[in-house]
Amino acid sequence: MKRTSIRRAALPGIAVLGLAVSVSACAAGNETSNSGSASGSLSGTLNGGGSSAQESAMSAWRAGFQSQNGDGVTVNYDPVGSGTGRANFISGAYMFAGSDAALSTDAGELDKAKQRCGGDVIEVPDYVSPIAVIYHLDGVDNLQLSPETLADIFAGKITTWDDPAIAKDNPDAQLPSTRITPVHRADDSGTTENFTDYLNQASNGHWKWEKDGVWPIKGGESGEGTSGLVAAVKAGQGTIGYADESQAGDLGQAAIKVGSSYNKPSAEGAAKVLAVSPKVPGRGKNDMAIAVDRTTTEPGAYPIMLTSYLIACPTYDNANDAALVKGFMSYIVSDAGQKAAAEQAGSAPLDPKLASEASSIIDQISGK
């Protein structure tokens, strides 16, 4: 059964990521070029938050935006998780949100976002990254897993590392009898939604739950946010989890079977999947939500990946708020912003056509 949880969280008094930037020229005429440089005379505070998978990339965007623009504007981004980010955007606590999953129609999120915006809602991709299957198992350095085996591990059907199914995927490995401890996200997470979407699409029925940002199985080991999950995997022995590859650290990363090959997580592999995936039908003209094809057998593809989105309104009551949102989001999808994220977080830059479309949509943001 599918469960979707939208948790409304009060806007934190102190944001985790903050910066002071200033821009020069008029707010209403704020424009961003392909290089991400902006012109405008801005002041005030821009509050956003959501995806913790984007945290490393957001640090790069913060630094790049500040370097280009100087002092004056405060931008706060809280990596509280995609679900809380979307909820806080819908409630009006955030002016923009970062989410590793598009606004849900099943949970009514899209309709609620439209109500908040007074009409259409902007949803553009900003970050493409592999989700690594991370593990901590002494003596096993090159773990390989088929989607069926991976699904059975996280469903609790495979409980020890020397299980025949794992041995079949790893004929040359010396697998211990250590008990497997799967670790999942404790919060409503876009990373979880992408991971469960992969398990549902690719495991040939071994995973019985639909995609969901809330882990569908009660109990078990969990961690809050990306950093909490990574810490839990690192602290155990025989543990396995899933996290944005940029934050996997020195933990083992499994190669996943795609077609007849086992592929390691890579930005290039994630980008290949995005390139063959269609848009979600029936969305608004400013909504670029993508239906990721997890079953592709494209050579080198890595289908356990996420496409993060920036979520905003096309119109804001305050013209200065609109200029702040427009300026920062324009930098993120610009060549400079995408290059900064790739260098810092190892993400895949947006395809030029996607980036151009996103930029055109963001450029429409205005104040009343």
Q: Give tens-digit pLDDT for 141-166.
A: 999 999 999 999 999 999 999 999 99
Question: DSSP string spanning 186-251?
Answer: SS--HHHHHHHHHHHHHSTTS--SPP-SS-SS-SSEEESHHHHHHHHHHHSSSEEEEEEGGG-TTS
- Comparing CA positions, the residue from 134, 238, 234 lying closest to residue 176 is 238
Q: Is the pLDDT of residue 12 over 90?
A: no
Residues 6+ apart with CB under 8 A from 141: 252
User: Rounded to whole angstroms, how far apart are CA atoms 237 and 253?
Assistant: 15
Q: ∠325-327-332 over CA atoms, to 5°?
A: 95
* Domains observed in the chain: 17-129+273-367 (3.40.190.10), 131-265 (3.40.190.10)
Quick one: pLDDT at residue 70?
65
List 21's β-bridge partners, or say none.
73
Q: Which residues are annotated as a binding site?
A: 51-53, 82, 100, 189-191
Q: End-to-end distance of the chain based on CA atoms, in angstroms?
A: 43
List 356's β-bridge partners, or say none.
none
List 125's β-bridge partners, or say none.
309
User: Rounded to whole angstroms, how far apart are CA atoms 125 and 245?
Assistant: 18
Q: Give tens-digit pLDDT for 283-327.
A: 999 999 999 999 999 999 999 999 999 999 999 999 999 999 999
Task: Provide, for the chain, the percentages of residues in helix, strand and coil under a 3-state DSSP scheme, each rounded to the nearest 5.
Answer: 35, 25, 45
Quick one: pLDDT at residue 19?
40
Q: Give tens-digit pLDDT for 51-102.
A: 999 999 999 998 777 777 767 777 889 999 999 999 999 999 999 999 999 9
pTM: 0.83
Q: Which residues are annotated as a binding site for phosphate?
A: 51-53, 82, 100, 189-191
Q: Is the pLDDT of residue 39 over 80?
A: no
* Tokens (6 digits) for 8: 């409304």
Quick one: pLDDT at residue 337?
96
Q: Give tens-digit pLDDT for 164-202.
A: 999 999 999 999 999 999 999 999 999 999 999 999 999
